[in-house]
Amino acid sequence: MDVRRIKPDDIYKIEGWYEARATVPPEPFDFPEVGFMVDDIAAVFVHQTDSSFAIIEGLISNKDANSLDRSTAIDTIYLELVKFCKEAQYTKILAITEHGSVIKFLEGEDFTPLLHSVFIKGLR
């Protein structure tokens, strides 16, 4: 699967994925500048900080896409996100979520729960 950087025009498609899941999407100007996606399947954004960690935002998939394609796309996007964070010299990735499927994914990637919905992973 091909991963690419999210472009401004992609935001409206991604908002539709939120709405299809009966979830309120962030305002278009609230999305971080950096994000990655597999066309028509899944996307994730990363908030860059001036500290040692980056923050995952909006890990979302198109619920109309095939479930195996969604899972593969999320795995592929995640690897690109980790590569980006390491190149930017972040040592940790922080994730905040209440969505069970995202929590399961984070736990599978060895994120450590900090609070009920806050997870962190050290990068080596």
Burial of 59 (0-12, 13-18, 19+ CB in 10 A): buried
pLDDT tens profile 29-75? 778 889 999 999 999 999 999 999 999 988 999 999 999 999 999 99
Is 90 exceeded by the pLDDT of residue 117?
no
Tell me the C-alpha distance between 26 and 15, whole Å.
8
The chain-wide mean pLDDT, for the chain, equals 91
Confidence of residue 93 (pLDDT cuts 50, 70, 90): very high
Closest CA to 62 of 26, 45, 80, 37: 37
Q: Kindly tell me if the per-residue pLDDT of 100 is higher than 90.
A: no
CA atoms within 13 A on the CB side of 82: 15
Q: What does the alpha-carbon distance between residue 94 and residue 105 come to, in Å, rounded to a whole number? A: 13
- Domain ranges in the chain are 4-122
Q: What is the chain's length?
A: 124
Return the pLDDT at 119: 78
Rounded to an integer, the average pLDDT of 13-38 is 89
Name the CATH superfamily, with its identifier, for domain 4-122: Gcn5-related N-acetyltransferase (GNAT) (3.40.630.30)
